[in-house]
Structure 1
Amino acid sequence: MRVLTPLERVDAIDAELRAKLANYWITTAEELYAAVRASNQQYGSGVAALAVALGIDEERVRALAEALLPLLPADVAFSVPVEQEVGAGLVIDDYVDVDAAAFAVPTSLPERVDPPAHMPAPVNQGVRNSCVAFTLVAIYQALSGDPTDLSEQFLYWACKDRDRIPGDVGTDPLVGVRVLQELGVCSEATWPYRPAPSDQRQPGHERPPALAFDEAKQRRIKSFRKLPATGVLQIKEALAQGQAVLLGLYIWEHWLSSWQARGLGRVRAPLPGEQRKGGHAMAALGYRDDATAPGGGYFVVRNSWGAEWADENPDGPGYCHVPYRLVAEGGLAAIAVEAVEPPGPAASPAAERQPAPSGEGEASGDLAALYDEASALQSELQRLVTRLDGLVNRLGRLVGPAGQGRGTGPAASAAAVAPAAVGGATSGPLILISREGPGAGEELYPNGVSPEGQPLLRIDAATASWLAQDRLSAEPQELQGVYQAKQTAAETSHLGVTRDIDPLKLEEARWAVVINATERAELIEAIWPLIAHRMQQMGHSAPQVSFTAGENAATWLNRHTDNGAKTLRDHWGQIPPVLIYRPGERVGRWLARHGVSQGPVDPRRGVPYYVLLLGLPGPRFAGDERAIPLNFQYELDIFWAVGRLCFTGIDGEHRLADYARYAEHLAAFEQRSDAASQIRKEVVYYATRHDMDVATRRSAEELVAPLTSWNADPANVPARQGFVPRPFVGEAATRAALEQILRGTGDGKAPAVLFTASHGLGLPLRDERLVLHQGALVTQDWSGAGNVRREHWFAGQDLEELGDQAKLEGTMALLFACYGAGCPERDEFIFDEQRGRPQVAPFPLIAQLPQRLLLSGALGVIGHVERAWTYAFSGTDGARAQTQAFEDVLARLMLGEPAGNATDDFNIVQGARAMALTEELENIKFGKIVDPSELAKLWMARNDARNYALLGDPAARLPVTDQG
């Protein structure tokens, strides 16, 4: 786990305050800062609650928080945690506790009992109140040594069938253990769990099939006993005897609003004013005596909110540490399960077959017996293999990344408590491990928040460095030469195109659409008005075309190019400017197929400079080949001017009418003689600055403030072109203000440029709002503490609801926020040794807010796919407020350059950082000693620079100059 900073290192916190904080198990700077930023129902904020708890005023709490900042990570990402609904479900109305006096005082207890190593990854109960079923399944797995995925669906149904408690409110834990003792539990494969809906009329959902009841008999517990609900010693004794304990506690507000619990997995006594959210059952599987924990130690407890909750806990994601004092003062139930029944003979497929024909019975019986024996042996071997896998994974967590020998990797002697990356070369780190050594403790984290108001990711520099050197390649070999060529092109000032071509003249630079061969040709038909408009701008009339229902893009293009015989190189202006992408093609192969290679672009060779990708950014499901991947866009954009059009719904499928709407509106706007008068020559800078939030403080002070000053300077392009800055920063950046900006602020005209810098919403995979709300802008209405609620963010849905009131025709938008442009399917900054690269979205997606901006009249939207980091405006050498790339992009837009050409500085930065990383890795191979934090910074900065994307037509431009 990452190294935390003891409060003793904070001069502003004296011994008396440290003692008071220790009562809440707040012993480090990180935990205290998390408590400051947590929500509090009664007092409104963690600041106010801490003031009450510590007996000091709020201003002193704020001063303490400011004193913590120099000890916290400097590099952050713009994402926030969102308020989540979680299930509970412990019903103790009829639960009768037992008297601790009836138990002998245990003696000679060990100082620690570790949880079993063979356990599968924790799963999430979702919104249903089924915690008792999840707890008992975990207990059975712990005691049986069998990590088979079991059916909480079956167990919860049986509990609700017996307890007769109406509604999905949970169940009595005694009912649960009796069901597990009498009926048992079947496998998940036989009766899968459904985390939703929370059905009040049928809380257990439908009755399981007879097969589930038959199979459940193979997995039952033998015996259990009630313990004193607050009996710390008795619970410890049971665990020391190899038993597992169902533990009942109240859920308090900080479990979901503070990183201390939600991230680190340390639950504690509630601060004054915290909301109590109901009873909850969890599985206590171990304990450790620890003088720093309230009560002298803590229990190691497995929760049922999935691996995303407490993902930085040293015992693994989904586990938490419960201090003895919390149990002693607030325990609700404690039931020790002593042993499980040995599994009986499993029914085999042979046993269910029809009797053999006469004369074959004896042989058939022998075969059946042999089959039964082989099946039983296979099952036993499978259980052993699964258990061994669990032990190996557990060992990996204890000794460090797999394959790391003694003395290799960063600080080999330090214990790793989170998994490292596995596999071959990939484009991004990283994991959550802290190690010792120079620079190892420095963390890098992004600008964005999750539903709970916390940064989406913290990254340890030492492990990032180790991964970069030993586990992951810096760049694919074919791209290293591309980046070098880009740097050379930048230095010779002709950027994307060759010197013979003027990128500002569309007839020279040329324009084309790229579409997947298997995609429906209807997409081409939908944007045909834009294609015809671009051809006219390039000096040609659009050819006659036809569209056939059900035809794919490749077939359609073959019909209009003599089966591919006519190419853009040899028949420019005579055929539709459409190029085909074949599923699975990398950029180099795609370019080669069209007769060119990566380098300065000569569009006369067959691939126009301005390229509009049409379609999905990734597959929606296994076997879906219609997409043009995000990586293809990143790589092609190094030299070409690339944009993407993608309009999709909650299911990820195309909204054809929206493609047509954008194409028609853009063509019509550019054809207006008075287009320039339709926009207001101003740049709106909308930037939140949340109290106690490092990310937005830095973006407001080091990005937006310098840009505003640059914009106002008479010597610079914006002032010379007549563009006035209009800042909405900090308290002015409310949701109401944003809506007013989007409505045209009185005169009904759109701002020429809309620049936002804020947190972007990062929803967990299980959240049903993810597709429609990922990357939504978190406004100043959020206090910066606690969870982000729906009224705090502005999503595409909100812009859609404005309808005709939205006035954005002619605007260029740049959204600096996590997921502002889109979200990949899998995390590009985390590896998990057991699960691989975590899935963060159901499929790669383009965010809905930029889609709606385009449909409301915006010409183009520049944003970030994945998390956005402070490296965008700071150097890896510590230099801050480095806004030059943003200044260049904005200046080019205000000079009337096409959006695809205006963003070229982002590609230059990407190339420079990629080459710097590659060069440093090469130096390491020849013996150079590199500070791990420096290497990690290079890695993160490279990834951050790569993930910018233009949504919309790359040839679109502000109507501020004569476009010919």
Structure 2
Amino acid sequence: MRTLTPLTAVAAIDDATRTALAAYWITSVEELVATARATNTGLGSGLAALAQVLGRSEDDVRAMVMAALDVVPDASSFSVDVAMEPVGTGAIFDDLPEVDATAFSPPVGLPAEVAPLLNLPPPVSQGPRNTCVAFSIAAMVQILSKDPTDLSEQFIYWISKDRDRIPGDVGTNPLVAMRAVAELGVCREETWPYRPEPVDNQNPGHERPSPAAFQEAKQRRLAAVEQLPARDVQQIKAALAAGRPVLIGLMIGEHWTSSGQVRRIGRVRRALPGEQRLGGHAMCALGYRDDPTAPGGGYFIVRNSWGSDWASENPDGPGYCYVPYQLIFDEGLAALVATGVIIEQPEPVAPVLGKAAPDELTAILTEMQALRSRLDALIERVQALAGVQSAVSVADTEAVPVAPAEPAVPVVTGYSGPLILVADDQSPDELYPNGIDGRRGEPLLRIDAKRASELAQHSEDPKDLHALHKTRNEAEEKHFGVVAEVDQEDLAQARWALVVSATDDVRLIEALWPLIEHRAQQQGIVLPAVNFRQGETCAEWAGRYADPKQPWEQRAPVLVHRPGERVNAWLARHGTMAGPVKPSQGVPFYLLIAARPGPLAENDRAFISFNFQYELDIFWGVGRLCFTDERGHHRYADYRTYAQRLVDYERRAAREIRLRREIVYFGTRHDLDKSTERSALELVTPLAKWHERGLPQKQGFAKRLLLAGDATRSNLELALRDGNQPPAILFSATHGLGLPATDRELIPYQGALVTQDWTGFGGIKREHWFAAEDLPTNLSLEGMVALIFACYGAGCPQQDEFIFDPEKGRPIIAPFTFVAQLPQQMLLRGALGVVGHVERAWTYGFSMDGARGQTQSFEDVIGRLVTGKRLGSATDQFNIIQAARSLTLAEELENIKFGKQPEPRELSTLWMARNDARNYMLLGDPAARLAI
């Protein structure tokens, strides 16, 4: 069985150190790094705690961890974990009677593994309430009855608190709770739904359940309840081998919520010195595995009640964890089982028949109704096992008004890292950005290069896109962008147009009309008199005022994108094809897309995808405007604000400069963090040095370097408003905040900049990141351009673009595709444009094939900006890299198709690097430029 980056791969880690770490189930480089970076209330950090365990200085341990980081592959993603919101615990073990272990005969013939006893839906979170006992018992009833029907934890907790007489919402005694369920039972969740809030110390169980809930609960009760010795590993294993789940009790350590070892893969361990104890906690053990690498020789498979975002990458399911035998032996606080469940069918209601009905007919009808009742119950259980929703009879439903569609959050799979593929024993070459397979001690988030090769060979670009990349690379040998006779800095020659979705509301064009008028004037277009009709679509309006049959100089510069239209089809419909741009053929060089990047509902067609922009941007100068609220709907007033501010800025008399002739280089470098160490040393520092001898210095731009300890939130805020003027350019290289799809704060915070206020230890807290809401409303960023190198800095797709699993497909990582809020708010405050990254940002942006510190593309963009090039022209270097890498990947796949033996690592690296280069994007008007 293979392991992930074993500690033996690090020369600085000797046998004695590995033995000491193994006692804490730290057996790999990734676990060591996660532990060192965790919070530790008593000692300040996991690094300090490890130093105490190993009897070495913090500097020695830091050097050891950094040496360990050196064995991690170069491809590093710039996303980090966020500190968990407070979670409840709630098991009280004070009054549990002692159980004499000698009363139980030692079990013999136990199997080496008991797989999870029932395939349950992913666990939901108990929230801040201390209801873990209720969640554990509900899972036990489901397993014992072999019925995954969702049960009411709210009911269990109320009847438990009604009996334990313990004041406050502090939890309950698990033995009292199990006996209550044995007597009163438990109803379904839909009958008495659980509420994760509020924590109510006056009424901890909330209100008394309804009579219907009590009546239904009688149908599903625990049988006899037994208490096992809390620390007898063999007795717990024996119960599981007999098909009986076990409620176990432990005292939670701080690492449960602060270390990636637990939060990602769910491998819990004994607490390190200095760790805060968070309270007693009950969970449901539903399987085990003997494993000589785990402390005590194996571990229990346990279902927690903190939702599926905790331990989201556990191989047995999101929300599950592994508890080593040794931890139970040393610290177990409870072990309770039930002998089974008692299922009773409801008494059928006697039918009321006419007086003329014979007795035998009445008896037959009664029997049939009883049979139907049992059949309905059986159908419900089978549906629950199969994950099928019950059908609703139309006749039984009441017609209600249909509300506007809300963007629903789809089911989230148990993945959250950059790459995942199931291992193949014949494929040793892998990439390890982060993550551990807790079951096997190997990477969960990785590329197995052989499988990556196979997947890449089945995910080729469409032929038209392949041809587009090839055309771009051939054109690159001669010139950029437009044909040679066109000056792309002259709008009268290069031209400009707004691109909108055909089905979007015409209010979008109306909001941007000041900018359309301004750009039309710069092109010599004489606009017709226009009006905007309520309820009209963009396509309908364009049919009246932007007819392609009219001469360019006599129509509104607005082009329409039809739902589902690919780039080549769209170009052909407008009279041209992919290649060096000749604006007079029908499509201007500068194109401003104003549209949402994805649908909000199944039938939503009013969007223009990120992919359309990526492909169009290969030859054209493309930007995007998208101002949306947290539900994804347009904020039309914001479009008008951006348009009017840009027009006013460009038309202002005397063109006085209201920004500082300065470039701010902002780069974090967190302790024990390879990603930001590399971006600081190989991207930000070289750029700052180039500034001193390159075009910025020659053009008279000052430099402000905020690196490592200087890259704080307060310094960033000051840099944006120093002297009441923004800098000309902000270049930042930081982690971008990445939140789970189910997080309520995903939309406002995804892609926020993680500053140096986060030390690198523990989870990211709110005060550690700079988000849209941190921009003061009166802050002026007028005339500034921002270049943001961070995960999700420009936006986030709905589906993960760096994860492939042939069986599960692409995981959902957001409720809908969206543009990040931070760049939206920068544009609203006057920024001309923001260049950022959709999805994760990787070190491939400045390194490839062993060549590090390759900052040429960023130098080219900054150099073009400071010489006054328009944004859509200045950012062309990213498009060149995208086309080059896409063509290289496509040619490699074509060679493989015709017999070349694939080189797995090379192919998987090409695929990742292509995706990374493709996802750079300009937000803002591509025809805007710095006032220099």
Q: TM-score, normalised by structure 2?
A: 0.90
1:813 aligns with 2:802: no
Contact 1:439 1:931 in 2 (8 A): no
Query: Aligned letter for 2:614?
Result: Y
Query: Aligned letter for 1:798?
Result: D
Distance in 2, Cα, partners of 1:933 & 1:372: 64
Match of 2:894 in 1: 922
Q: State the shift of 1:933 in Å.
A: 2.1
Q: Which stretch has the larger CA shift, 270-279 or 281-290?
A: 281-290
Give the match's secondary structure for 2:312: coil
Which of the residues 839, 855, 859 maps onto 2:812? 839
Match of 2:446 in 1: 459
Q: Deviations over 1:121-145 (max 9, x none)?
A: 4223152333222222322233333
Contact 1:125 1:131 in 2 (8 A): no
Q: Deviations over 1:422-466 (max 9, x none)?
A: xxxxxx9842534444552332459xxxxxxxxx99422336515
Q: State the shift of 1:704 in Å.
A: 1.3
Q: State the shift of 1:814 in Å.
A: 0.6
Match of 2:396 in 1: none
Q: Say how many residue pairs are matched.
A: 900
Distance 1:669 1:243, change over 3 A: same
Give the match's secondary structure for 1:128: coil
Distance in 2, Cα, partners of 1:869 & 1:842: 23
Report 1:369-384 matches (<5 A): 373=371, 380=378
Give the match's secondary structure for 2:540: helix
Distance in 2, Cα, partners of 1:117 & 1:596: 62
Distance 1:303 1:626, change over 3 A: same
Give the match's secondary structure for 1:322: strand
Give the match's secondary structure for 1:678: coil
Q: Which stretch has the larger CA shift, 164-173 or 637-646?
A: 164-173
Tell me, which stretches of 5 or more residues in structure 2 are unaligned? 389-411, 436-442
Distance 1:74 1:336, change over 3 A: same
Which of the residues 754, 757, 773 maps onto 1:778? 754
Distance in 2, Cα, partners of 1:463 & 1:4: 17
Distance 1:247 1:857, change over 3 A: same
Q: State the shift of 1:248 in Å.
A: 1.2
Query: Aligned letter for 2:601?
Result: F
Q: State the shift of 1:195 in Å.
A: 4.3
Distance in 2, Cα, partners of 1:796 & 1:755: 17
Match of 1:148 in 2: 149
Distance 1:903 1:461, change over 3 A: farther
Report 1:255-274 matches (<5 A): 255-274=256-275
Report 1:274-289 matches (<5 A): 274-289=275-290
Match of 1:767 in 2: 743
Give the match's secondary structure for 1:813: strand
Distance in 2, Cα, partners of 1:843 & 1:849: 17
Report 1:255-404 matches (<5 A): 255-341=256-342, 343-345=343-345, 373=371, 380=378
Report 1:229-628 matches (<5 A): 229-341=230-342, 343-345=343-345, 373=371, 380=378, 430-437=419-426, 439-444=428-433, 458-462=445-449, 465-469=452-456, 472-493=458-479, 495-558=480-543, 560-561=544-545, 567-568=547-548, 570-628=550-608
Q: State the shift of 1:695 in Å.
A: 0.1
Give the match's secondary structure for 1:30: helix
Contact 2:263 2:310 in 1 (8 A): yes
Contact 2:418 2:445 in 1 (8 A): no
Match of 1:712 in 2: 692
Give the match's secondary structure for 2:645: helix
Give the match's secondary structure for 1:803: coil
Match of 2:38 in 1: 38
Distance 1:66 1:600, change over 3 A: same
Distance in 2, Cα, partners of 1:510 & 1:368: 81
Distance in 2, Cα, partners of 1:487 & 1:757: 28
Report 1:98-109 matches (<5 A): 98-101=98-101, 103-109=103-109
Which of the residues 697, 700, 713 maps onto 1:735? 713
Distance 1:239 1:954, change over 3 A: same
Give the match's secondary structure for 2:929: coil
Give the match's secondary structure for 1:760: strand
Q: Which stretch has the larger CA shift, 515-524 or 759-768?
A: 515-524
Match of 2:400 in 1: none
Give the match's secondary structure for 2:601: coil
Q: State the shift of 1:772 in Å.
A: 0.9
Match of 2:393 in 1: none
Contact 1:757 1:815 in 2 (8 A): yes
Query: Aligned letter for 2:887?
Result: M
Q: Deviations over 1:588-635 (max 9, x none)?
A: 333343333333333223332222122322223343333222222222
Distance in 2, Cα, partners of 1:830 & 1:757: 24
Query: Aligned letter for 2:220?
Result: R
1:677 aligns with 2:678: no
Contact 2:114 2:288 in 1 (8 A): yes
Distance in 2, Cα, partners of 1:356 & 1:614: 70
Distance in 2, Cα, partners of 1:763 & 1:28: 26
Distance 1:837 1:194, change over 3 A: farther
Distance in 2, Cα, partners of 1:484 & 1:253: 54
Q: State the shift of 1:831 in Å.
A: 4.1
Distance in 2, Cα, partners of 1:166 & 1:647: 50
Distance 1:294 1:228, change over 3 A: same
Give the match's secondary structure for 1:486: helix
Match of 2:855 in 1: 883
1:949 aligns with 2:925: no
Q: State the shift of 1:474 in Å.
A: 2.1
Report 1:638-657 matches (<5 A): 638-657=618-637
Which of the residues 616, 623, 642 maps onto 1:662? 642
Distance in 1, Cα, partners of 2:806 & 2:853: 36
Contact 1:98 1:227 in 2 (8 A): no
Contact 2:91 2:132 in 1 (8 A): no
Q: TM-score, normalised by structure 1?
A: 0.87
1:797 aligns with 2:740: no
Q: Which stretch has the larger CA shift, 197-206 or 760-769?
A: 197-206
Q: State the shift of 1:265 in Å.
A: 1.8
Distance in 1, Cα, partners of 2:446 & 2:355: 67
Q: Deviations over 1:219-249 (max 9, x none)?
A: 3322221122233232222223221101111
Distance 1:108 1:632, change over 3 A: same
Contact 2:663 2:701 in 1 (8 A): yes
Q: State the shift of 1:696 in Å.
A: 0.3
Give the match's secondary structure for 1:658: helix
Distance 1:366 1:845, change over 3 A: farther
Q: State the shift of 1:639 in Å.
A: 2.3
Distance 1:604 1:363, change over 3 A: farther
Aligned Cα RMSD in Å? 3.2
Contact 1:516 1:582 in 2 (8 A): yes
Give the match's secondary structure for 1:76: coil
Match of 1:726 in 2: 704
Q: State the shift of 1:57 in Å.
A: 1.0
Q: Which stretch has the larger CA shift, 539-548 or 830-839?
A: 830-839
Q: Which stretch has the larger CA shift, 819-828 or 122-131?
A: 122-131
Distance 1:503 1:207, change over 3 A: farther
Distance 1:214 1:606, change over 3 A: farther
Q: State the shift of 1:516 in Å.
A: 2.3
Give the match's secondary structure for 1:250: strand
Report 1:848-867 matches (<5 A): 848-867=821-840
Q: State the shift of 1:115 in Å.
A: 2.7
Distance in 1, Cα, partners of 2:373 & 2:847: 61
Q: Deviations over 1:650-682 (max 9, x none)?
A: 333332322221111111111124446323222
Tell me, which stretches of 5 or more residues in structure 1 are unaligned? 391-417, 422-427, 447-455
Q: Percent identity?
A: 52
Contact 1:431 1:464 in 2 (8 A): no
Q: Which stretch has the larger CA shift, 901-910 or 12-21?
A: 12-21
